[in-house]
Amino acid sequence: MKMNGAEIFVKALGDLGVDVVFGYPGGAVLHIYDELFKNTKVRHYLTRHEQGAVHMADGYARASGRTGVALVTSGPGATNTVTGIATAYMDSIPIVVFTGQVPTLMIGNDAFQEADIVGITRPCTKHNYLVKETKDLARIVKEAFFLASTGRPGPVLVDIPKDVLMNSAEYLLPKEVSVRGYHPNYEGHPKQVESAIRLLMEKERPVLYVGGGIILSSAASLLTEFARILGIPVTTTLMGMGAYPGTDPLNMGMLGMHGTYHANMAISHSDLILALGARFDDRVTGKIDEFAPHAKIIHVDIDPTSIQKNVPVDIPIVGDLKDVLKKMIKLVKGTKEAAQYREKIAPWREQIGKWARTHPLSYKKSAGKIKPQYVVEKIYEITKGDAIIATEVGQNQMWAAQFYKYDRPRTFLSSGGLGTMGYGFPAAIGAQVANPGKLVVDIAGDGSIQMNIQELATAVQYRLPVKVVILNNGVLGMVRQWQELFFQGKYSQTCLPQIPDFVKLAEAYGAAGFRATRTEEVAGVLKKGFAAKGPAFIDIVCDPNEMVYPMVPAGAPLTKMLLV
């Protein structure tokens, strides 16, 4: 039976199991919206900005492990998605973004609301498509989901001209898709895995350096099993928060620029680093030639380009972490060697424990101004570590990583690679859509929250009870911190004198607003805010002078940390 492109599109979404779409209508996608009007399978969330729609799809994906979907119109609708797409690309998040396009015959004519979005997003998508004919539409939609969610995940964009939506064709959704230039390698080479374990067992000061790949691969429980069998200390990247239980004694917390003292010392003194789904980002390595100078490196990653990109690797293993960790566990589980190894590296764990005790994460408590770290600690206590936490970007993000303990994967949502201010709030909304019963908190900065604040209307409209805790320090804190340390305290353009009254603002949108200005009030206000029925802004007026420590200045080796 023939259908028009818009019908094909919406039917394909339904048949692929898509039940949630975040979007914003416009002329080029009117036919799709007309179809959605009749459809009951696909729930559409109307956002207030297309960037918001993409971050919501992204937050939905990170929190659920499913592929997020956004739908927008041509031209400005499409260009508004770019920051969201680049954010997902840098963090390898599976989303599919559908954009309307002017009719095929008008492409290239500077037609009304035309933008070459395929050209614009080529470097920040895993792949993108311009659909030329209605008959290809269903197949391309299926391919897009296949590419976004397999191998190293990432955003895929599908640009659909208006005539493709209006013309008719048979509905042909292929059972299987195969793309001849795309063959991700899931199985780690057994010989490489064996050599890796052999090398590991020879060493005395091993560290598991764990990244977002563990979460993307859903390999967190395998990692926990493996680390415990051998008793190896673990450090995670920002993207790896929750990949290994934050409360486990083997967990040293985050490494890198704002990592813990003991994680950075451990990496720097280690004789073997087993990197699992982490990509040696410059925020992690510090000065690259002095990174882990004594260590042999084993690197497991599904994407060959991640391996040997920034640091030379002794044993590369290309494969899915689930597969590789299973193989590794099989080699060591229940063996005498494993027990001996655990014993052998006990002094190493003790050394790390000493570092941890001499320089734990800390801050100077004060009776007067509210310390943002204290707020995050309280959020942890009150939620008992059971919330999904999204963050904005800046100091708020680092404190959220340092002072909350993440025991489970997919509970910490943060823009790591691109560092997108304005990410957290829409991402939290997307996470709430994926987890209706859960407490979802966006730990925000007063600067960042103003970048996608319009999405409060979305949260109110759909009764999504997201809680935004604003660590309101009145400044673009992280940038100001650099000015304080490296630009002689010249605070050029980092004070935010015109901060809106967030309580009134929340109320104006139909949400609840709360405020704390003194340390004693924090716990009570947080509890009230979390108990509120709908979405809430919880404005915490914090000390503007607080800084994030430890800090490795850009370009310095990891051992040169500035401490509290």
Partner 1 sequence: MRHTISVFVENEFGVLSRVSGLFSGRGFNIESLSVAETMDESVSRMTIVTSGNDQIIEQILKQLNKLISVIKVVDLTGVETVDRELVLVKVNADPETKAEVLRLVDIFRAKIVDVAPRCYTVEMTGDEAKVKAFLQLLRPVGIKEVVRTGLVSIARGM
Ligand X SMILES: Cc1cc2nc3c(=O)[nH]c(=O)nc-3n(C[C@H](O)[C@H](O)[C@H](O)COP(=O)(O)OP(=O)(O)OC[C@H]3O[C@@H](n4cnc5c(N)ncnc54)[C@H](O)[C@@H]3O)c2cc1C
Ligand Y SMILES: Cc1ncc(C[n+]2csc(CCOP(=O)(O)OP(=O)(O)O)c2C)c(N)n1
Interaction partner, residue 258 (partner 1, ligand X, ligand Y, none; CB < 5-8 Å by kind): ligand X
- Of the candidates 253, 237, 415, which has an alpha carbon nearest to the alpha carbon of residue 245? 253
Q: What angle do CA 122, 125, 129 make, to 5 degrees?
A: 65
Q: Bridge-partner residues for 298, per DSSP? A: 274, 315
Give the residue, chosen from 66, 139, 283, 438, that forms a contact with ligand X under the rule CB under 6 A.
Answer: 283
**Does 546 qualify as catalytic in the annotation?**
no
Phi and psi angles of residue 430, each rounded to the nearest 5 degrees, phi first: -60, -40
What are the structure tokens assigned to 124, written together? 């920040």
- Residue 293 or 304: which CB sits closer to ligand X? 304
In whole angstroms, the minimum distance from the beta carbon of 86 to Mg ion comes to 23
Residue 306 lies near ligand X (rule: CB under 6 A): yes
Is 551 annotated in the active site?
A: no
**Which of the choices Mg ion, ligand X, ligand Y, none does residue 392 contact, using the CB cut-off of 5 to 8 A by kind?**
ligand Y
Binding-site size, partner 1 (CB under 8 A): 18
Q: Would you give the binding string for ligand Y spanning residues 436-475, x where CB under 6 A is met?
A: ---------xxxx----------------------x-x-x
Computed from CA positions of residues 559, 351, 317, 222, in that sequence, does the dihedral angle turn out positive or negative? negative
- 92 interacts with, out of ligand X, ligand Y, partner 1, none, CB within 5 to 8 A per kind: ligand X
- For this structure, is 50 an active site residue? yes
CA distance 267 to 352: 10
368 binds partner 1 (CB under 8 A): no
Residue nearer to partner 1 on the CB measure, 121 or 458 = 121
Q: Crossing angle of helices 372-383/395-403, nearest 10°?
A: 50
Q: Which of ligand X, partner 1, Mg ion, none interacts with 304 (beta carbon under 5 to 8 A by kind)?
A: partner 1
Which residue among 68, 77, 154, 212 contacts ligand X (CB under 6 A)? 212
Structure tokens at 145: 């989901």
Binds ligand X by CB under 6 A, chosen from 91, 455, 539, 543: 91
Q: Considering the complex, what minimum distance in angstroms separates the CB of residue 545 from Mg ion?
A: 12
Going from the C-alpha of 532 to that of each of 349, 463, 513, 527, the distances in angstroms are: 44, 12, 9, 9
Determine the Cα–Cα distance for residues 105 and 547; give it in Å rounded to an integer: 56
Exposed (0-12), middle (13-18) or buried (19+): which is 523, by Cβ within 10 Å? middle
Tokens of 337: 């060697």
Say how far apart CA 238 and CA 218 lie, in whole Å.
Answer: 17
State whether residue 513 is helix, strand or coil.
strand
CB-wise, 208 or 254, nearer to ligand Y? 254
Q: How far is the CB of 472 from ligand Y (least distance, A)?
A: 8
**CA 229 to each of CA 74, 202, 223, 224, 342: distance values in angstroms, whole numbers, following the listed order:** 53, 16, 10, 9, 8
Instruction: Report the nearest approach of ligand Y to the CB of residue 422 (Å).
Output: 6
Of positions 251, 395, 402, 458, contacts ligand Y by CB under 6 A: 395
CA distance 445 to 471: 5
Q: Decide if residue 445 touches Mg ion (CB under 5 A).
A: yes
**Do 414 and 400 touch, CB atoms closer than 8 A?**
yes
User: Residue 417, interface with ligand X (CB under 6 A)?
Assistant: yes
Binding track over 292-311 against partner 1, x by CB under 8 A: -----------xxx--xx--
Binding mask 477-516 for ligand X (x = CB under 6 A): -x--------------------------------------
| Inter-residue contact 532 to 380 (CB < 8 Å) | no
As given in the structure block, the two tokens for residue 461 are 């409209």
Give residues 463-502 in contact with Mg ion (rule: CB under 5 A): 473, 477
Least separation, in Å, of the C-beta of 477 and ligand Y? 3
Token pair, residue 93, equals 């998040």
Which residue's entry shows tokens 């925000």?
A: 444
Going from the C-alpha of 372 to that of each of 229, 476, 518, 539, the distances in angstroms are 37, 14, 12, 11
Q: For Mg ion, give the closer residue by CB, 446 or 546.
A: 446
478 as an active site residue: the answer is: yes
Given the rule CB under 6 A, which residues bind ligand X? 91-92, 152, 211-213, 216-217, 237-240, 254-259, 277-279, 281, 283-284, 301-303, 306, 320-321, 393, 397, 416-417, 419, 478
Given the rule CB under 8 A, which residues bind partner 1? 118-119, 122-123, 126-127, 130, 147, 179-182, 303-305, 308-309, 312
Residue positions annotated with a catalytic role: 50, 112-113, 162, 478
